[in-house]
Amino acid sequence: MFGLFQKKTAKTAEDRLTGLEKKKDWAELSKAYYELGVAAMEQAISDFWWATPMDELLGMTEEDIVVRFNAWAADCGTDHVSFCHVTGDHVHYEGADERGYHDEVPHAEEHHSGHHS
C-alpha cells in the first residue's frame, strides 16, 4: 500500500545524476560529478597499489608514477570533471626496499642503555 513498507533500493550513480539534471539542481549535480570522479580516481590508485607486486613497485621510477597518474586522470575524468596533468614536480616518490631491514634491526629490549635493575 503506497509503497510505505517496501525496501528502498539505493540509487545508482546514473539515477542520481539524472534526477539532479531533471531538478536542475546544478550545485548538487556538480558535487555529484566531482564525488564520482574522485571516487574513481581513488579506486584506480588503490587497485594499482594492492594488485602490483612489491618488486614491481620498488622498480618504478618517478616518471613511471607520473605516467600512471596521468593515465588514471584521463580514465577517471569526464566532460564535467577533469584532473590536472601530473608532472614530476607533483610527485615525491622514492622507493627503498626496507623489507629485510626490519628483520635485521635489533629489538630495543635486547640493547638496553642506562641503568639496569
pLDDT of res. 2 = 58
Domain extent, residue 39, equals: 14-95
Does the predicted model carry a pTM greater than 0.85?
A: no
Number of domains in the chain: 1
User: What are the pLDDT tens digits along the chain (117 aa)?
Assistant: 455 666 665 578 788 888 888 989 888 888 888 888 888 889 998 999 899 998 888 888 888 988 988 898 888 887 777 777 777 777 776 666 666 666 655 555 554 445 444
pLDDT of res. 22 = 92
Dihedral sign of CA atoms 56, 62, 66, 72 in order: positive
pLDDT of res. 55 = 87
Domain annotation covers residue 2: no
Domain annotation covers residue 46: yes
pLDDT of res. 93 = 62
3-state secondary structure 68-92: HHHHHHHHHCCCCCCCCCCCCCCCC
